Amino acid sequence: MEIENLPEDLQRIMRMWNDNMSGRQIANELGISRNSVMGKIFRLKRNGYDVRQGYETSKGTVVVKSAEKKKPKVKQQFNQRNYIKPPVFNPVPIYVAPETEPTKPLNLNIFDLKLYSCRYIMGNVAGVDTVYCGLPVKRGSYCKAHAKLCYNPPYKGPANDKFASA
């Protein structure tokens, strides 16, 4: 692409860029931001202008280099010698106490609930007088029995759908 067709400010930016001035130095001289200088250079390159090659500068003519195609990088082949085995993880068994939970709800009000108490509402919502289950939490905010009621298993697709048409 021909450089003479560009506006004067872009020609000036290219001339300073070819004089090996930094984006900050060009910005200070033109009174614009560094990002606008770098954006203009980026757009010139993107539009096919050789910003650093074949342009008259105050130091002389820059020689145009022949455009060589970059060779694609070859991925390194798998080699047994350069393969590092990941460390082996041996999990330590965790002791789980046997479940000894009461099966009857404790019927607590909101002020008697603790941090890990089941928040399943037993009966009607009655403001401050609302009664909660109160058993120890197993999943989320609910005890084991109420978690089964409140949480649905994940959908596994039409193969496991009992309502799927044949």
DSSP notation for 70-129? PPPPPPPPP-TTT--PPPPP-PPPPP-PPP---SS---B-TTT--TTB---B-S---GGG
Task: Quote the CA–CA distance of 92 and 48 in Å, as a whole number.
Answer: 61
Domains and their CATH numbers in the chain: 3-61 (1.10.10), 101-158 (no CATH)
pLDDT at 10: 86
Q: What is the pLDDT of residue 33?
A: 93
Span between the terminal Cα atoms of the chain, in Å: 64
**pLDDT tens, 30-51?**
999 999 999 988 888 888 777 7
Q: What is the DSSP letter of 5?
A: G
The residues near 120 (Cβ < 8 Å, ≥ 6 apart) are: 105, 132, 133, 142, 143, 146, 149, 150
Query: Which residues in the chain land under pLDDT 70?
Result: 1-5, 52-84, 92-102, 155-166
Residue type, 120: Y
The 8 Å CB, 24+ separation contacts for 73-78 are none
The residues, any chain, with a CB within 8 Å of residue 129's CB and separated by 6 or more, are 109
pLDDT at 100: 52
pLDDT for 154: 75
Residue 164: the pLDDT is 55
User: Minimal CA–CA distance to 102: which of 138, 68, 78?
Assistant: 138
Query: What does the alpha-carbon distance between residue 129 and residue 108 come to, in Å, rounded to a whole number?
Result: 9
